């Protein structure tokens, strides 16, 4: 009987010890859960603050070619990097950065996301050369390097091309080419208007000059109206039945 009581006492003591260990583990687990919950809460707060202060978001898997940003004026998409028209592309990038209020240190990172093919290969080579010389990458210098690599050859003469431009086809084609060339030169409004009017087709130019347009916008509108009028008046008539 005494032996049985002694065994029971030992079993009770062992059970109490196991329960104590279990309680300690439960307490430790509760502390871990509490810590994780606190970290999660802080992370959510940081994300919310970041979203309210910054308008930038990394591209999702379905937006491979674009950097998407929700700005004060709506949703913007970062321009694609293409070799043709690199100056136009950089101009649109600068407009994006201005609207999005992108920090200087983030500009290059955003551009790199959208590089591919030869552009990406050139970028990697350019960055390695700077790293080898321990040079800091500056956005202005990077832009100059991009233009030097992917821009025009330097032997083109947009002013000469503009002076030689003639309306040979449709008015739309002439206006499109005129916009491209006039945007590449420094020229005042009067000279731009003179160039545009002087090389219109005769059937469009003369009626437009009658109205004496004082701006390129007015000349565009009058020229389009005259093209429609001329086309309607000279449309082949179907023979009467």
Q: How many CA atoms lie within 13 A of 106 on its CB side?
A: 13
- Residue whose structure tokens are 């293409």: 82
Q: Which of 53-57, 73-77, 145-149 ranks highest by mean pLDDT?
A: 145-149
Whether residue 131 is predicted with pLDDT greater than 90 in this model: the reply is no
Amino acid 78: pLDDT: 52
Of 107 and 57, more confident: 107
Amino acid 46: pLDDT: 60
Mean pLDDT in residue range 93-122: 83
Mean pLDDT in residue range 111-116: 79
Of 32 and 205, more confident: 205
Q: What is the pTM of this model?
A: 0.47
Cα end-to-end span (Å), the chain: 131
Q: How many CA atoms lie within 13 A of 130 on its CB side?
A: 14
- At 63, is the pLDDT very low, low, confident or very high (cuts 50, 70, 90)? very low
Amino acid 208: pLDDT: 95
- At 55, is the pLDDT very low, low, confident or very high (cuts 50, 70, 90)? very low
Question: What is the average pLDDT value for the chain, to the nearest integer?
Answer: 76
- Going by C-alpha positions, the residue among 193, 199, 231, 188 that lies closest to residue 211 is 193
3-state secondary structure 14-83: HHHHHHHHHHHHHHHHHHHHHHHHHHHHHHHHHHHHHHHHCCECCCCCCCCCCCEEEECCEEEECCCCCC
């Amino acid at each position: 009987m005494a032996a049985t009581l002694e065994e029971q006492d030992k079993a009770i003591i062992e059970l109490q010890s196991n329960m104590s260990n279990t309680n300690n583990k439960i307490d430790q687990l509760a502390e871990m859960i509490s810590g994780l919950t606190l970290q999660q809460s802080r992370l959510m707060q940081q994300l919310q603050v970041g979203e309210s202060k910054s308008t930038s978001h990394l591209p999702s898997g379905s937006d491979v070619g674009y950097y998407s940003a929700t700005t004060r004026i709506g949703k913007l998409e970062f321009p694609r990097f293409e070799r043709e028209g690199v100056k136009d592309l950089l101009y649109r990038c600068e407009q994006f950065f201005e609207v999005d209020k992108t920090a200087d240190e983030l500009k290059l990172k955003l551009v790199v996301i959208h590089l591919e093919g030869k552009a990406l290969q050139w970028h990697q080579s350019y960055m390695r050369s700077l790293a080898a010389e321990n040079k800091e990458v500056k956005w202005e210098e990077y832009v100059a390097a991009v233009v030097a690599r992917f821009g025009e050859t330097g032997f083109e003469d947009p002013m000469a091309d503009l002076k030689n431009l003639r309306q040979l086809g449709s008015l739309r084609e002439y206006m499109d080419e005129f916009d491209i060339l006039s945007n590449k030169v420094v020229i005042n409004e009067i000279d731009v208007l003179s160039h545009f009017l002087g090389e219109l087709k005769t059937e469009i130019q003369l009626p437009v000059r009658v109205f004496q347009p004082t701006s390129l916008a007015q000349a565009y509108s009058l020229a389009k109206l005259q093209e429609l009028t001329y086309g309607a008046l000279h449309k082949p008539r179907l023979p009467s039945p």
